[in-house]
Amino acid sequence: QKEVEQDPGPLSVPEGAIVSLNCTYSNSAFQYFMWYRQYSRKGPELLMYTYSSGNKEDGRFTAQVDKSSKYISLFIRDSQPSDSATYLCAMSYYQAGTALIFGKGTTLSVSS
């Protein structure tokens, strides 16, 4: 069983739609959960960071972590064409100094 599973998409939505991106994981020891955005041939850019279970909101983005189900989500409200990118979930056991385990990424396309 893979450690972090993420539906690769592609996911295509019209501008203004609400987007839901999800990851599941197998190791209950993960404590820190992140969402990154990656444009083609660029480095991952941190969008959201969550510790343990709960919700976190930042502008149009909301991250949810459900540790009991080993499931994390990223919601994007009022999606824009500039949101078109690959979204990577990542998680780790500790806050720093340890490996981030990534999902494969979901490719999102927002059309105007």
Partner 1 sequence: EPEVTQTPSHQVTQMGQEVILRCVPISNHLYFYWYRQILGQKVEFLVSFYNNEISEKSEIFDDQFSVERPDGSNFTLKIRSTKLEDSAMYFCASSGGGEVDYGYTFGSGTRLTVV
- State which residue, 76 or 88, has the beta carbon closest to partner 1: 88
Sequence-ordered strand ranges (E) for the chain: 4-6, 11-14, 19-25, 32-38, 45-51, 54-58, 61-66, 71-76, 85-92, 101-102, 106-111
Give the ranges where 13-70 is alpha helix by DSSP (H). Answer: none
87 binds partner 1 (CB under 8 A): no
103 binds partner 1 (CB under 8 A): yes
Q: Residue 93 corresponds to which amino acid?
A: Y
- State which residue, 88 or 110, has the beta carbon closest to partner 1: 88
- State which residue, 29 or 96, has the beta carbon closest to partner 1: 96
41 binds partner 1 (CB under 8 A): yes
Dist. CA 25–CA 13, nearest whole Å = 26
Nearest to 90 by CA among 45, 41, 32, 42: 32
Q: How far is the CB of 75 from partner 1 (least distance, A)?
A: 19
Instruction: Find the binder of partner 1 among 1, 43, 59, 68 (CB under 8 A).
Output: 43
Q: Which residues bind partner 1 (CB under 8 A)?
A: 34, 36, 41-46, 49, 88, 90, 95-105
